[in-house]
């Protein structure tokens, strides 16, 4: 697991990309004079990679600073990772009230509101940190889904979702449904290669999987919205008659 750690200030941003499991720092550096003329420092911790020391890069806002960091990390010749998909989580240093937070937490709307309430404690740093958090959410939209998947897996370990439920994630699709793929990647637990239920990070990903099964695999599936007060069938105009019938049948069963 690789974690990008961000420490945003009013006109600067320090960063490190590290692997907490191996305790290896892959790269670190500094963005300075954000909103002025922009100076960028990049120090890859791998042999053969070039250090960039206070080079000129336009950084009107923290968004451009974080984009410069990401570009350097995945640079074809001088980067330390192959793509941004290798960043599993982003950690932010913020000033907060000890009464609300006593440890690291997953950033939610409620957490962001609580951080904003602490702005008077650090008027120069917290607003910048909030900008940095929002910029990372925009530039790395896939990271949050990885965090949510990890959180669900941890809840499963604690028995919060049932005593006989095994949950793992985030997992690649081949690892979730194919034991040979899981063995090749040296993963072994009750879920990998034998998953009974697949949870996708958003409706777009789920829709791609659904359409792939029906259009490429010839599958006949059923679809409905879960968690609604009444059964809600979710089908496409292009679905087959069987898929539509199965969806209605599933909704009727859920209503009992």
What number of other Cβ atoms are within 10 A of residue 22's Cβ? 10
Report helix, strand or coil for 238.
Answer: coil
Contact 213, 219 (CB under 8 A): yes
Strand partners, 25: 18
pLDDT in tens, 178-213: 888 888 877 778 888 888 888 887 778 888 888 888
What is the number of helices (H) and of strands (E) in the chain?
A: 8, 8
CA distance 112 to 243: 42
Contact 44, 50 (CB under 8 A): yes
pLDDT category at 79 given cuts 50, 70, 90 is: very high
Across 66-80, 96-110, 201-215, least confident range: 96-110
Contacts of 134 (CB under 8 A, 6+ apart): none
Percent of the chain with pLDDT over 90: 20
Q: What is the dihedral of CA 206, 182, 85, 45, to 10 degrees?
A: 170
For the record, the structure tokens of 47 come out as 């042999």
CA distance 207 to 101: 37
Characterize the bridge pairing of strands 89-92 and 3-8: parallel
Q: Say whether the peptide bond before residue 239 is cis (omega within 30 degrees of 0).
A: no
pLDDT in tens, 122-164: 888 888 888 888 888 777 776 665 566 666 777 777 777 776 7
- pLDDT at residue 9, rounded to an integer: 84
Strand partners, 44: 27
What number of other Cβ atoms are within 10 A of residue 158's Cβ? 7
Contact 3, 18 (CB under 8 A): yes
Contacts of 238 (CB under 8 A, 6+ apart): none
pLDDT category at 43 given cuts 50, 70, 90 is: very high
What number of other Cβ atoms are within 10 A of residue 29's Cβ? 22
CA distance 58 to 35: 8
CA distance 113 to 105: 13
Nearest Cα neighbor of 129 from 252, 255, 46, 12 is 12
What number of other Cβ atoms are within 10 A of residue 231's Cβ? 17
Contact 170, 145 (CB under 8 A): yes
**pTM reported for the whole predicted model:** 0.57
């Amino acid at each position: 697991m690789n974690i990008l750690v961000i420490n945003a200030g009013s006109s600067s941003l320090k960063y490190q990309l590290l692997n907490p499991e191996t305790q290896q720092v892959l790269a670190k550096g500094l963005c300075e004079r954000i909103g002025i003329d922009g100076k960028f420092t990049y120090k890859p911790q791998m042999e053969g990679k070039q250090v960039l020391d206070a080079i000129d890069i336009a950084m009107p806002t923290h968004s451009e600073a974080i984009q410069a960091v990401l570009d350097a990390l995945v640079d074809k010749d001088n980067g330390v990772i192959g793509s941004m998909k290798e960043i599993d989580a982003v950690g932010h240093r913020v000033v907060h009230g000890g009464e609300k937070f006593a440890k690291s937490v997953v950033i939610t709307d409620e957490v962001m509101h609580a951080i904003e309430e602490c702005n008077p404690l650090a008027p120069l740093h917290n607003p910048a940190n909030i900008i940095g958090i929002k910029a990372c959410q925009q530039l790395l939209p896939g990271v949050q889904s990885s965090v949510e998947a990890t959180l669900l897996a941890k809840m499963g370990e604690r028995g919060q979702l049932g005593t006989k439920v095994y949950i793992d994630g985030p997992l690649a699709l081949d690892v979730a449904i194919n034991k040979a793929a899981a063995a090749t990647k040296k993963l072994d637990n009750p879920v990998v290669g034998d998953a009974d239920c697949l949870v996708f990070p958003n409706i777009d990903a789920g829709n791609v999987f659904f359409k792939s099964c029906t259009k490429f695999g010839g599958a006949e599936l059923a679809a409905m919205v879960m968690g609604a007060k009444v059964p809600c069938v979710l089908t496409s105009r292009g679905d087959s008659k069987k898929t539509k019938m199965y969806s209605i049948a599933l909704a009727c069963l859920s209503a009992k």
